[in-house]
Structure formats: structure tokens, C-alpha cells
Amino acid sequence: MNTLRRNMLRILAAGVIGAATVSANVSTASAAGLTLPAKPESGTLKMGIEPWLGYGPWQIAKEKDFFKKNGLDGVDIVNFTEDKDLNAALASGNIDAANVAAHTAMIMVAAGLPVKVVQMLDVSMTADAIIAGKGITSIKDLKGKQVAYEQGTTSDLLLNYALAANGMTIKDIQPVPMPAANAGSALIAGRVPVAVTYEPYLTTAMNQNKDVKELFPASKDPGLISDVLVVRTDYIKSHPGQIAAMLKSWDDAVKAYRADPKEGRAIISKSVGATPEELGTAFDGVKFYDLAENKKALGGDFVSKTYKDIEAAATKAGLLQQKVPASKVIDTDFVKAVK
């Protein structure tokens, strides 16, 4: 599993923030009172992406010509290997949209980037978790214990959420900073009693040591660890038809994946440079959101509850320096208007 999309933004580079501030003056309009055109606007939409399987349905949409089916002239999927490069491209207007983690979208908006979330892509259910060895059966048992996790990542977010849900803070544990790829190994070797990591490291740890068990999966709060599509606000204003067509194409791709998971996993795995077998447990632990699920989530629990949970956990982890209202981050008009 790729670790890139899981790295949180502690801050945006000064150049990116500067570019965002200038761009913000172009337009901060949302698609309020949205009336979609009969067909998408002409031109090619440029979308930034990283090699994470949660973004895989876009590759299915490309492979099966769903973009063309929904009236798009073209979609240029621009690959990035580092968050900072994707963020810079989005801030400067070199790309129009990007796939990012939900907490990253919050941090972008708080930093002044002129973007809005237009749809949810995926949520981690069991692909992220806190795991523990013998003798630890609850989060409260973590008090005073060493916990291995990668600071500034989704592991950091999940740990802070789990502690807060049990009346604790990071001060109640002994943090042992290390890459997520090594956290599970440290637990297996007995160097630490608890680790926070994600697939495939979760399954590897539990398979190699029968005493290792799942203590707190991300599914405890579906959406806490999730990904979204963000679009520049000036592009939202000038190309609403294209954005609507993108949502339709994603929906078609998710439905195709569900109809034939074997084919879908093969397409996605190839795009991230792995085999379906290598990503099996990761696929099993991730849920893609179709259009109907987007309507329900963005019109309900995600905005009213989960968003606040992400914001609180990111703040406790020191990743978000100020609160940012959901209304400034999420544009629900598209998921409501698209049929």
C-alpha cells in the first residue's frame, strides 16, 4: 500500500500559500442554487492523483470510457508522487482538481487554498487500525504504554481520536515515533506493546503473531479516515457541467467495480504498481462511495458529525491550527443536483 496519500500536511510551503492567496481573489463562489448545463463545458479537466487504491475508480472510468460516456472532452489524470507537488499544482492552477484525504482538504482551506470538496471518494473501515499485543484489551489499557505510530499521518489522526473517545490524550501514552511500515514489525518483535498502522502491515502483524489483535479500527467512526475530491473554486464556477460529469463517471466506475470486483481490482492494482493479491486486505478494508452514498453522507452524518470528529482529531494532533467550518470546505450542491 502506498503511504503518500496518508501523509498529513503539517503546513503548506510558503510559496503554495502565497499562490493560494492570489488565486483566492479570482473567485470564491460556490455552485449555490446549482443549475447544470445540458452537457459539460468543452475542454479537458486536469486532475491530480497519487498512487493510492482509494482513487482507483478513476482508472476504471478511464479504462471503460466513462468520461466520454458522460460527455467530457477529456480528463487529464496527472500523477504525483509527493503531496507538496500536488498542492503546489492545485494552488497555482496547473491542475483543476485533486484527490486528497479529508483532513488535508480542511488544512488546505484553512491555509487559504481556494478549493472545495465536491464529493467523497472512499473511507477506510478496517484498513487503518490500532493493534495490540497480549494483555491489552481496550484503549484505556494504553495509559502509560509505549505506542508506535507515524506522527503527522492518518495513524496520528486515528490515535488521537481513539484516545479522546476514551477520555484520554496523547499525554497519557508514551509515543514511539516511527514509519507505519515499521510500527507493526516493532509490535511483532515485542519492542512495543501497541502500534497504529494500516494495510497490508495490519494483516502481516496479526498473521505473524497470534497474540496481536485489532484494538480500534477506523470503522469505529466511518469517514474519519477518508478521501475526497477537491476542485478549485474558480473552476467550480466556470465548469459546473464538467464537475457533474466527473461525479457521474465516478459513480459508473464504482458500480462497475462492485459488479466485477476481480476486473476492477486488476485495473486499480496495475495503476498503483502492485498486484491484486498484494492489495487484497487493503481492498477489503476500504469502501468506495457511490453517488447515492454521497448524497446520504454529505447531506447528513459526515457533515453533522464525522467532519467535526476529523477536525477535533487533527487539531489535537497539531495538524490543523484553526477550526474551519464545514460550509467553507464542502460544496454539497453537486451531489444533490446530479441524478
Topology adopted by domain 128-220 = D-Maltodextrin-Binding Protein; domain 2 (3.40.190)
Cβ-contact 69, 252 below 8 angstroms: yes
| Enclosing H/E stretch for 63 | helix 57-63
Statement: residue 269 has pLDDT above 50: yes
Q: What percent of the chain has pLDDT over 70?
A: 90
**222-251, pLDDT tens digit by residue?**
999 999 999 999 999 999 999 999 999 999
Segment 262-279 shows an average pLDDT of 94
- Distances in whole angstroms, Cα of residue 107 to Cα of each of 110, 113, 151, 259: 5, 9, 16, 35
| Enclosing H/E stretch for 194 | strand 194-198
Cβ-contact 310, 78 below 8 angstroms: no
**What is the Cα–Cα distance from 246 to 239, expressed in whole angstroms?**
11
Q: 246 or 12, which is more confident? A: 246
**286-313, pLDDT tens digit by residue?**
999 999 999 999 989 899 999 999 999 9
**SS3 label, residue 153:** strand
Do the domains 128-220 and 4-123+225-337 match in fold? yes
Topology adopted by domain 4-123+225-337 = D-Maltodextrin-Binding Protein; domain 2 (3.40.190)
Domain boundaries, the chain: 4-123+225-337, 128-220
**What is the Cα–Cα distance from 280 to 269, expressed in whole angstroms?**
10
DSSP string, 242-282: HHHHHHHHHHHHHHHHHH-HHHHHHHHHHHTTS-TTTTHHH
Statement: residue 283 has pLDDT above 90: yes
**39-91, pLDDT tens digit by residue?**
999 999 999 999 899 999 999 999 999 999 999 999 999 999 888 899 899 99
Statement: residue 211 has pLDDT above 60: yes
**165-184 b/e (C-beta count within 10 Å ≥ 16 → b):** eeebebebbbebebebebbb
Range with lowest mean pLDDT among 14-18, 88-92, 127-131: 14-18
Cell readout for 330 is 464542502
With a CB cutoff of 8 Å and minimum separation 6, the contacts of 241 are 36, 37, 39, 40, 41, 71
